Amino acid sequence: LKDVMHNVVMPKRAFTAYNLFFAVEREKILKVLPEDGIQGEDRDARVKEVVSRLETNLLPEEEEEIEKRMVCKILREQCEMVDTKKPRRKHRKTHGKVGFVDLNSIISNRWKKLSKVKVNWYRDLGRMDMIRFQKALDENRRKVKA
């Protein structure tokens, strides 16, 4: 069974609410930062600058548009299957605008402050993706048994 499963094209794992939120927020942050990013040694100052830019440079309509576009893109990509025999892609050079530690700090703080309505929206999307994943997994198991 293990050898059979190894040759099966698997569904992509489900995104959690936080995974979806992180991807959306990352896109927003990259949109408001200049090409050379935020420079400086003081981490707190860099984080405050990014948060300030998010609050002043993005209109609510722009934020909503980014949220909808990114969620649709992510969920559409999630419907693709993963070929287990396909080699992994090469690492891409990052944008260099913001480091991962800063990015993680900013996004986790924004998650903590997120309204209940938005949290529930992301949770519903995460549940939908989990249902998609479970259905695809069940379908794969049926194919393997057949």
| Average model confidence (pLDDT) across the chain | 89
Q: Is pLDDT at 28 greater than 90 in this prediction?
A: yes
Q: Which strand (E) or helix (H) includes residue 95?
A: none
**pLDDT, tens digit (0-9, with 9 covering 90-100), for 45-61:** 999 999 999 999 999 99
Domain extent for 116: 2-145
Q: What pLDDT score was predicted for residue 2?
A: 56
**pLDDT, tens digit (0-9, with 9 covering 90-100), for 106-141:** 999 999 999 999 999 999 999 999 999 999 999 988
Cβ contacts of residue 53 below 8 Å, gap of 6+?
32, 33
Helix, strand, or coil (residue 43): helix
Q: What pLDDT score was predicted for residue 7?
A: 63
Is residue 35 within 8 A of residue 97, CB to CB? The reply is: yes
Q: What's the pLDDT band for 91 if we cut at 50, 70, 90?
A: low
Mean pLDDT, rounded, for 75-103: 79
Q: Is pLDDT at 5 greater than 60 in this prediction?
A: no
Q: What total of structural domains would you count in the chain?
A: 1
Q: What pLDDT score was predicted for residue 24?
A: 97
Cβ contacts of residue 66 below 8 Å, gap of 6+?
24, 27, 28, 31, 58
Stronger pLDDT, 39 or 26, i.e. the higher one? 26
